[in-house]
Amino acid sequence: MTNFTTIERLALNASPSYDCIVRYNGYVCHAKMNYKGTYDAEVYEFIDSTDDFAEIECRLSLIEKANGNFATSGDAVKWCFTFIESL
């Protein structure tokens, strides 16, 4: 069984001071500060249609993750954008 999340779940577990969730070209970018003070970056794709559900309730599937390589959340989101553009 595949594990899914939603934008709502990501937001509930995010730190409003440090973390970032951005929708970009039909994907969701998630930058989250880890225990070392650096940022992880994750890219999710939508499984459900936004025609059927509210955007925050649509299931998301993780397609790529970069661990602890980024000094800021902006750098992590930039990595996400670059990854998405390469698809």
Reported as a single tens digit per residue, the pLDDT across 4-60 is 999 999 999 999 899 999 999 999 999 999 999 999 999 999 999 888 899 999 999
CA distance 15 to 68: 16
pTM: 0.92
How far is residue 30's CA from residue 9's CA, in Å, rounded to a whole number?
A: 12
pLDDT tens digits along 74-83: 999 999 999 9
Distance separating alpha carbons of residues 68 and 85, to the nearest angstrom: 21
Q: Per-domain residue ranges for the chain?
A: 7-86
